[in-house]
Amino acid sequence: MTADSWTPKFSIEPPSAKYAVLSFPAPKVLLIRLNRPKQLNCINTEGHDELERIWAWLDAEPALRIAIITGTGRAFCAGADLKEWNAHNAANRVKPMPASGFGCLSRRSGRKPVIAAVNGICFGGGCEMIINCDMVVASSNATFALPEVKRGVVAVAGALPRIIRTVGRPRAMEMALTGRTLPAEEAREWGLINKVVGDKEGEVVDAAVELAKMVAENSPDAVIVSREGVKMGWEGVGAEEGTRLLTEVWYPRLLAGENIKEGVRAFVEKRKPNWKEAKL
């Protein structure tokens, strides 16, 4: 995808970025491409700061409803910038980690969903990021690993307590304790990712865009509330408590908006809904 197919009008100016490229491949869809190919898209301190601003902008900007994150070159993201980390160690400085985790995504809650389009190597912090994404599409040549134990460190950016809920205890232990690499098909079999597509250039992003377009066409209010309901279950809230919170906290906010009325009215009138921007 070499050019935007949608020219948005923003209420809030997009943040500037040195290590990521922002584009808009479809209406309401933001594409973030990590852009340090020589470093396998490892994220340094400045890169974390950039991504923190980008995710905040996504949630605040009315013209956007969903984001896709991918990488330039042969890697999605190979994790932390170890050269920077080594320099911090030499200077006896603690390497900072944003409160929202690696890439400000591995512990992000946020309002709007994020799809990972994994185009290649997805190691360490890169793998921590996709574990907390809402959906993951991978190229057939993509590879996944939590190799921190091989370097004497630990995946502390949110992956360890989350991945067990995705793949189960035995497989989570296998990834965390061996550090071995999973090919894309095995990751899909484990439930770590949604689907595997071909390895032609741009194919994985195109597949992610198709998913994003389906989400962006739905009621933005209903997407936000539905996402909250799924997140509560995944984060350990019991089914009954999660349902109570959904019906007592979130559903009244949905009912107070225009989109729930518009969706029903459009169905009765046999037309496409004209959604308003989410106020939740």
Domain boundaries, the chain: 20-216, 220-268
Euclidean distance between CA atoms 252 and 260, whole angstroms: 11
Q: Residue 85 has what pLDDT?
A: 67
DSSP state of 95: P
Q: Residue 92 has what pLDDT?
A: 66
228 is catalytic: no
Architecture of domain 20-216: Alpha-Beta Complex (3.90)
Q: Residue 126 has what pLDDT?
A: 97
Note the helical H segments in 113-168: 125-131, 159-167
Q: Residue 3 has what pLDDT?
A: 43
Whether 32 has a pLDDT exceeding 60, the answer reads: yes
Among 17-21, 86-90, 98-102, 233-237, name the most confident range: 17-21
**Of the ranges 6-20, 44-58, 100-114, 206-220, which one carries the lowest mean pLDDT score?**
6-20
Q: What is the pTM of this model?
A: 0.93
**DSSP codes joined into one string, 3-54:** S-S-----SSPPPP-SSEEEEEEETTEEEEEE--GGGTT-B-HHHHHHHHHH
Query: Out of 46, 52, 148, 201, which one is annotated catalytic?
Result: 148
Query: Out of 128, 174, 210, 228, which one is annotated catalytic?
Result: 128
Q: Residue 235 has what pLDDT?
A: 85
Range 9-31 average pLDDT: 95
Q: Which residues pair with 114 in a beta bridge?
A: 67
Q: Coil, strand, or helix at residue 223?
A: helix
Structure tokens, 51 = 């991504």
128 is catalytic: yes
Q: Residue 161 has what pLDDT?
A: 93
CB atoms near residue 88 (< 10 Å):
15
- In a 10 Å sphere around its CB, with 0-12 CB exposed, 13-18 middle and 19+ buried, how is residue 67 labelled? buried
Euclidean distance between CA atoms 59 and 269, whole angstroms: 31
Structure tokens, 89 = 């160690």
Range 61-76 average pLDDT: 96
Beta carbons of 215 and 65 less than 8 angstroms apart: yes
Q: Residue 279 has what pLDDT?
A: 80
